[in-house]
Amino acid sequence: MKSSAIVPKIVLRTEELPAEEDPASPRIGRWYWVGNTKKKKKKDDRWLGCVTHVGSNYVELEGPDTRSSSHSTRVHADEFWDHCEHVPNPERVLGERVAHHQMTVKALMREIHDVTARLAIQTGPELGGMGVLPETAQSSETRALALRPKNEKGKQDLGKYKKALVLAQKKTLPDLFEEIREHNDSLSVWLSASIIPLKAQAAAMGTATSAIEDRIFSVELYAGLVETVTLIKDGEPAALTDKIHLFQRKAYMDEECLAQYETGGMEFKNLRDFDKWLARPSNMERLLPFPRSMLAFQVRRKEKEREWENLRGFLGMLEAAKSDKFTYLYFRNGEKLYRLSTEIEFGEKLFPDMERSKLSGKVWAKMFADDVKKLVSDDEYQEIVRKEEEEERKIAEMPETERHWHHYWPEAKDYEPFTRESVHYDDISKFIKGEADKHNRLVLILQGLLDRSTAFHPHPPWQLWQDGGFGQALTLVYDDTRALAPGDALDFLAYQKSLNDKLEPGSITVGQEDHWERVEAERESKRMDSNWRTQSRDWRPTKYRPEGDPGPGKVARVTRVTRSKKGGSLVATFAWARSKRRDSWRGDDEDKTVPCSIAVPASRLLNVSAYKPGDFKKFFSDPRTRADYLQWAPMLLEAEEYCAGNREVREPTRLPKREPSPEGQWKYKKQKARKASENKAVRLSRKIYMGDGKTYDKGTLWRTGNTYQGKFTLYGIDAGGKDELAEEGSTSRYARHITHVDLSDFTIDASVTLQAKQAKEA
């Protein structure tokens, strides 16, 4: 299992002279004129480049470029001398570029000085002028007026002088300053060009440092300095000759046991609960079926949604999210169960596919810039090409109007073959070696456990690094192919709809309480937004339960089923009672309850009455739907608990009908009378005195508005029922109005017909 050098290094221009003796052969720090490496060549498209890296079959060059901060390219070794010409004295070339831009900047500054001098504008010392002192400012202005241009008759032409000033301000000087800025930018680029060889040499030295770091890391892995082994369950060990079965896939704790699904899945603080769950004989036999087995676990696949209220909560959320990504290696030795905790990243697979690592046949690499994203076989690549050709054929057959809306992103162009003709040959080789190194890390950990720990005792003196030792000790289980389940994945939404189509009054459902909590959270957020004390808070609740309100119940019975006016979808109604919200200062100690109800769309519910026990196993057994368990687990598992008799049904609460009191009847009649008096033509039943000294006589004609807190606002109208608008310039819309008028202060005049409200004339 040792990793060896995959790519032999080639020597450039071996047919002429060995690289170490040829002063023109590519080496880090040497400069070349680089032509256009594309097929279309241009005469003057050469640029000066410095060798920053020499690969096994390519040379990488980087150089200054005035269009951007740098210019770099890779040139294949077989084509190097077709595109590159050695520069024996790069210092002279760089010096000429620097001198050119310096002289150009000086010439532009002199031109600016000449322009300002012709216009009699005193400049500062930066542009060659003497500056303007405060006491001489007036004399400078006098000189400018004296030097202004004269016309044919010898008189001063102020208009022509003004045009010259405007031209200098708007066009001449800004253009000159822009040229100076561009040359200064180019000057800085060429001045920094001498640093490119130094940076390349420093980067080359970093290879030795990386090798030392890898060696230190290997020692840490073997010695167990970055891991902790915990005994979870004790018992009899496996037989001496039992091999260790190493599973390729990475499992996820929350998906395997679906613990704590109500709060969004497992997290780091539930680790011991998972240990107890895995230690159960049935669970250990299912996940670690062999006497000696090892399986990698991660707490969560997807990031959990967490809420935070302050900076401390935010930092705690980041730490919890980080802990969810830790990898734990659980291994079994007979009846014993261990957990190895480490912060090492192992990837989705504990070891790579050996068939691909052997690189049998042609291999293609998906590239992004100089990074390898993934490897595919030639058959997989040809399938990608075939699908793209089929997609292009479909697009070509579409009408012109539909092509615009068809989005298509070709992928095959991002792949390169793993051959020496590719300038990314070294990058692909490094990627393959990195995948093998991840495997070697695990082998280091296992060898360290075998040598220094009693976790796998008793066992033969296995040496995983010797020929045949790996096969004697380990069996690789390629169980990652379990993720490729046959057929299409189950659609939970379709399953949910099939159950909810059977909804009727009296059906038992789940999901209504979650919907109610989210509705209450929206109300609470609006209340917080309207309260000046909480307006500055960034945190808003996603779920909220008002005090004294039990809600509709996690498992509840439907009271009514209707269809929405828009779309005709099913809506279920639930009824319950809550404590009346009252103010304690009133001394009202009597317990009072009020009826509550909520209408919930069927899409937020699951009809438990139509659920069959064990249906959740359909979604749990398929790895594709298990990964999305947060969508279905809260409802299906709650339905499963109900079918097992572990949940009580919240029955609808129907409060007894209260007998109307005389006080309540009087309030209702007053409210009804006020509602009937809105937007009517009325006459005052008494004389009203205003605070500004105005009075309105009894019998005058008005129009009522809507009631607010039991009071009316009256607006003046004429005998024809038309609003009397205020005069132009007035801050009020109406010529006269009265606020806070009681129902007893006017009587309705049914003989007057109100006219439509008139807009105030402009």
Residue (of 382, 263, 268) closest to 321 by Cα position: 268
Give CA–CA dist 442/65, Å, rounded.
46
Q: φ and ψ at 26, to 5 degrees?
A: -65, 125
Tell me the β-bridge partners of 375. 365
pLDDT at 180: 82
Among the residues of 537-652, which ranges form H helices?
616-621, 623-626, 629-643
Work out the number of other CB atoms within 10 angstroms of the CB of residue 315. 11
The domain segmentation of the chain, as residue ranges, is 95-193, 226-356+436-484, 492-580+593-643, 662-748
Residues in the chain: 762
Q: For residue 193, what pLDDT is reported?
A: 81
The percent of the chain in helix, strand and coil, each rounded to the nearest 5, is: 40, 20, 40
pLDDT of res. 227: 66
The CB-side HSE value for 528 (13 A sphere, CA atoms) comes to 15
Stated as kind and residue range, the H or E segment containing 91 is helix 90-118
User: What is the rounded distance in angstroms from the CA atom of residue 430 to the CA atom of residue 365?
Assistant: 12
User: String of b and e for 427-447 (b: at least 16 CB within 10 Å)?
Assistant: bbbebbeebbebbbbbbbbbb
The rounded distance, in Å, linking the Cα atoms of 339 and 333 is 11
Output the average pLDDT for the chain: 77
Per the CB < 8 A criterion, the answer to whether 226 and 344 are in contact is: yes
Distances (CA, A) of 261 to 14, 491, 635: 66, 20, 10
Give the residues of the chain that fall short of pLDDT 70. Answer: 1-21, 36-44, 65-70, 120-158, 205-227, 259-270, 303-324, 343-345, 347, 352-361, 401, 403-407, 436-439, 467, 479-487, 530-539, 581-591, 757-762
Backbone phi and psi for residue 450, each to the nearest 5 degrees, phi listed first: -65, -35
